[in-house]
Amino acid sequence: MTRQVAPPRWHREVDAEPVVVGELRRGVADFTRAHGADDDVIDNIALAVSEAVTNAIIHAFVGRQAGHVALTA
């Protein structure tokens, strides 16, 4: 049986729209799970990502056209 190695880095750049929050949250949760994090750590990281991305989407583009958000783990 071949053991899969988790990638050392995870990166996404997406349009700054509320619909992407869940996608980024799940992506980081999957990445941390692949690196052996326990459920409490995964939940805490996923929550922090949700808060940070939501705040960026809501506050970073006030009075300007929406841009992109980038996330690297």
Sign of CA dihedral 47, 4, 36, 40: positive
Give the DSSP letter of residue 16: S
Nearest residue to 49 via CA among 61, 41, 39, 37: 41
Which is more confident, 1 or 44? 44
Task: List the chain domain ranges.
Answer: 11-72
Give the model's pLDDT for residue 1.
Answer: 59
Give the model's pLDDT for residue 4.
Answer: 72
Give the model's pLDDT for residue 57.
Answer: 92
Give the model's pLDDT for residue 3.
Answer: 61
Q: Which residue type does 35 have?
A: H
- Render pLDDT for 6-48 as a digit per residue (tens, 0 to 9): 889 999 999 999 999 999 999 999 999 999 999 999 999 999 9
Give the model's pLDDT for residue 59.
Answer: 93
